A and B are shown apart, each in its own frame.
Chain A
Amino acid sequence: MLSYALRRIAVVLITLLAASAIVFAVLEIVPGDPARLMLGMNAGEDAIAALREQMGLNQPLLIRYFSWLGGLLSGDFGRSYTYSVPVIDLVRERLVVSLPLALMALFLSTAIAIPVGIFSASRRGTASDAGVMAATQLGIAIPNFWFALLLVYVFAVTLRLVPAGGFPGWQAGFWPALASLLLPAIALALPQAAILSRVTRSALLDVMGEDYIRTARAKGLPANIVLWRHALRNALIPVLTILGLQFSFLLAGTIIIENVFYLPGLGRLVFQAITQRDLIVVESVVVLLVATVIIVNFLVDLAYAWADPRLRRR
């Protein structure tokens, strides 16, 4: 067990190190000089050189890489070139938007998808199953930014129930902040729910074809108990895998939705940092996200073990 844990940690560290090296190298190759971008078209070469010096861009590549890496290890993520504040502060400010948004969207999508998937599987081949399948197909096909615009038009512009976008900050109060995240969470959740309900349905149907289900039925258990006690739990593994992937996506892959609702989230921070060549922010946030994905995967693994006791012994 211990050697397993150590192996696991070693793999995590190597993955992180590789990610840091790759993102650093890629950003070195991408054309664009942060100092020139900051000072614009009328700036003289001497001013640009002075700013490069100030930003520490004139140091050799390897020295910059290792000093950044050393900082990461001691918890110092460096200072943003453009904002000139510590990167960790920027990330923290964005996380208070992105994390609740991701959790809300995940909660909504799970709350919709699991019941819908079960319903659909238990009525396999009926008209209601076909109806649900058509609806989920539509949910996958509709681009979420278009759906977001539709939500804005109906609930913000016409009905004026919620703001059209922006985030007032949690200091503005719990409900105003939550209200501003509601439409984006719905827009994010619906396509995810569509995918998740299809996965739930097909996983359930797979399990329902297994021998032990037939055995359970044969010994006279009611269909309900068979479904809930025997089938569902075994069908959870693929559902958990998808959930883990979706959470990682929701945390950082929401740039478009964040743009539609002009939310100050993590996705927009990375996007802005890339266009402004705020390399240190991009590098640090990417490494953080890699770490998050690894941790989420680890938690999903733990959840497998919870769902399937046979996996605990491995």
Chain B
Amino acid sequence: MIPIIRSILAGAAFALALTTSAFAARTDLTLAIQLEPPHLDPTAGAAGAIDDVTYANIFQGLTRIGSNGAVQPDLAESWTLSDDGLVYTFKLHDGVKFHDGTALDAGDVVFSLDRARADDSTNAQKALFAAIESVEAVDDLTVKVTLSHPQGSFLYNMGWGDAVIVAPESADTNKEKPVGTGPFKFDTWAKGSSVTLVKNPDYWGDPVALDKATFRFISDPAAATSALMAGDIQAFPAFPAPEAVAQFESDPRFSVVIGSTEGETILATNNGKPPFDNLKVRQAIAHAIDRQAIIDGAMFGFGTPIGSHFAPHNPAYEELVETYPYDPEMAKQLLAEAGYPDGFKATLKLPPPSYARRGGEIVAAQLREVGIDLEIIPVEWAQWLDQVFKAKDYDLTIVSHTEPNDIGIYARDDYYFDYHNQAFKDVMAKLDATANEDERYALLRQAQEIIAKDAVNGYLFQLPKIGIWDAKLQGLWHDMPLQADDLTGVSWKD
């Protein structure tokens, strides 16, 4: 009975809204993402789809990352840093309410950060919080975070989806019914089909233009194309079918925006396993790779060649593509010098995304030209994580590392590249303790050079973000500095 009354009321309200706003701009949006999130708690999972739906829309952190990748204040309106670089004092916005009506105070921040770094934490990015020594509430709206050592990236870290502020009352149920402080509230989740958000009328900041946003899950590239063409969805911010882009570019109903992501697509190499422990062999592989051919063949021309593990749009980026230019003759010579004049056999494990499966075929063909015979082994993600990532049971694999600013993984001893270089670790340690921006950029450039020269992995291309949406829609992100579909600035043109 009650649902019937509710739907009648909703219908009446809808009719009223129609008559009063017949000439106003549209306020609803149906957009699509490729994968369905497993749940909606960004503090307890690595799936990018969780952040697609929740980041900036439902959940907010002390800081946030803007569309240009820069750190901005969010729940913290301001902060100060002590002279020794150890104590951050955050001043929270006044009047912020969670979607369940409870007020945000310093206690919630203490709870969220302590929960994320606790022993039994299941935060997928626990390393973000590793430098925190203690978190305390000074008063209702002031939080003091003490670090064990100065950390230049701390404010950036606090802007990740994994560092959002949650309330103790709702933390355990956020997976199913996320309760945050953002401009959209969670409404419904039709499993396998869509998640719907509605405008939060009590939002503390600037109100959003959309009243309702529905995220649909469409994984099949052909289905994605038809859904846009048929008008079922109005936006696909990370469109999965580069092969179909041309037909949208020639259609005036759509805007096509090619942007950048944080995804460095690499031919990851097992540096601990012969013959890949030999620098000459890795250099030979680097010389044998024709990046543009891979981008054209696997990505239909979309993608930027990279020469190291770093995003080209980052201000600290250094152009290193020509470190080992495409030169098959040089590759053969290096292989001969390394003791493999006739080349060798190896395996190439490929996870499911099309950049890997399509790119892998081309890489294998290119390496065959210089005598390296690759056996292609397709694997699922679960297998990839188990065999390649955890057990290091692989020779070569292709994968896109989509975490932002993740060059630090090359300093990890247990990482699946099995790369160990003290000079690189020193640079990273210095970087971690440096807050000055110019010095940080210099160190980051140095780091890029070291791994490029060492040819740790084959550096292929930066994954593009292909955005396709209704030409009348404005305010969606062009680039993807981190996984998000921030709808706070999205509106329809009249």
Which of A29-37, A189-197, A199-207, A209-217 is the contact stretch? A29-37
CB under 8 Å from chain B, chain A span 211-257: none
Q: A23 near B: Cβ within 8 Å? A: no
A39 CB contact (under 8 Å) in B124, B193, B382:
B124
A33 to B390, CA, bound (A): 10
For B126, the chain A residues whose CB sits under 8 A away are 43-44, 46-47
**How far, in whole Å, are A34 and B176 apart by their CA atoms in the complex?**
18
Asked whether A295 is an interface residue with its Cβ less than 8 Å from the other chain, the reply is no
Contact A37 B382, beta carbon cutoff 8 Å: yes
B45 lies within 8 A of chain A by Cβ = yes
- Docked complex: B380-396 residues within 8 A CB-CB of A: 380-383, 385-387, 389-390
Docked complex: A99-130 residues within 8 A CB-CB of B: none
A32 nearest CB neighbor, chain B only: B382
| Chain B interface size range | 35 or more
Chain A interface residue count, CB cutoff 8 Å, equals 52
Residues of A155-182 whose CB lies within 8 A of B: 156-157, 160, 163-167, 169
B193 cross-chain contacts in A, Cβ below 8 A: 166-167, 169, 262-264
Q: Using Cβ atoms and an 8 Å threshold, which residues of chain A touch B120?
A: 50, 53
A262 to B219 CA separation, bound complex (whole angstroms): 7
Interface SS of B by simple majority: loop
Instruction: Determine how close the nearest CB of chain A comes to the CB of B219; give it in whole angstroms.
Output: 7
In angstroms, Cα B120 to Cα A169, docked, is 39
The one of B46, B175, B227 in contact with A262, judged by C-beta atoms closer than 8 angstroms, is: B227
* Bound Cα distance A90, B193 (Å): 12
Q: Does B218 contact A (CB under 8 A)?
A: yes
Assess whether B191 is interfacial by the CB under 8 Å rule.
yes
Interface 9-mer from A5-13, A69-77, A80-88, A136-144:
A80-88
Residue A294 CB within 8 A of the other chain: no
What's the nearest-Cβ distance from chain A to residue B191, in Å? 5
CA distance A186 to B491 in the complex (A): 38
Task: Give Cα distance in the complex from A38 to B41, angstroms.
Answer: 12
Contacts of A265 in B (CB 8 A): 192
| Distance between A175 CB and nearest chain B CB, rounded to angstroms | 16
Cβ-Cβ contact count across A and B, 8 Å cutoff = 154
Distance between B15 CB and nearest chain A CB, rounded to angstroms: 16
Contacts of B380 in A (CB 8 A): 32, 275
Contacts A82-B38, A83-B39 given: A156-B385 contact, CB under 8 Å?
A: no
| B232 CB contacts on chain A under 8 angstroms | 156, 163-166
Instruction: Check A84 against B39 for contact (C-beta < 8 Å).
Output: yes
> Would B223 and A43 count as touching, CB distance under 8 A?
no
A149 at the interface (CB under 8 A from B): yes
Task: Assess whether B229 is in contact with A157, with CB atoms less than 8 Å apart.
Answer: yes
Q: Is the CB of A47 within 8 A of B382?
A: no
Q: Is B222 an interface residue (CB 8 A)?
A: yes
Minimum C-beta distance from A46 to chain B (A): 7
Q: A165-B226, A165-B227 are in contact. Are A272 and B36 (CB under 8 A)?
A: yes
Q: How far is the CA of A51 from the CA of B118 in the complex (A)?
A: 13
Q: Is residue A152 within 8 Å, beta carbon to beta carbon, of the partner chain?
A: yes
With contacts A50-B121, A262-B217, A264-B191 taken as known, whether A40 is within 8 angstroms of B46 at the C-beta atoms is: yes
Q: In the complex the two chains form, is B389's CB within 8 Å of A41's CB?
A: yes
Contact with B along A257-278 (1 / 0, CB 8 A): 0011111110011001001110
| Given A41-B46, A164-B232: A31 touches B176 (CB 8 Å cut-off) | no
Which chain B residues lie closer than 8 Å to A149 at the CB level? Answer: 222, 226
Which residues on the A side are within 8 Å of B382 (C-beta)?
Answer: 30-34, 36-37, 275-277
Q: Which of B122, B125, B175, B219 contacts A42 (CB under 8 A)?
A: B125
Interface status of A153 (Cβ within 8 A of chain B): yes
Residues on A lying within 8 angstroms of B by beta carbon are 30-34, 36-44, 46-47, 50-51, 53-54, 82-85, 90, 93-94, 149, 152-153, 156-157, 160, 163-167, 169, 259-265, 268-269, 272, 275-277
Query: Which 4 pairs of residues, A with B, have the shortest CB-CB distance?
Result: A40-B46, A32-B382, A264-B192, A82-B38
Can you spell out 22 A-B residue pairs with CB atoms less than 8 angstroms apart? A31-B386, A34-B382, A36-B390, A37-B382, A37-B385, A39-B122, A39-B124, A42-B125, A42-B406, A44-B127, A47-B121, A47-B126, A83-B39, A83-B175, A152-B223, A160-B230, A166-B218, A259-B220, A259-B223, A264-B191, A264-B193, A272-B192
Chain B interface (Cβ < 8 Å from any Cβ of A)? 36, 38-39, 45-47, 119-127, 175-176, 190-194, 216-220, 222-223, 226-227, 229-232, 380-383, 385-387, 389-390, 401, 403, 406
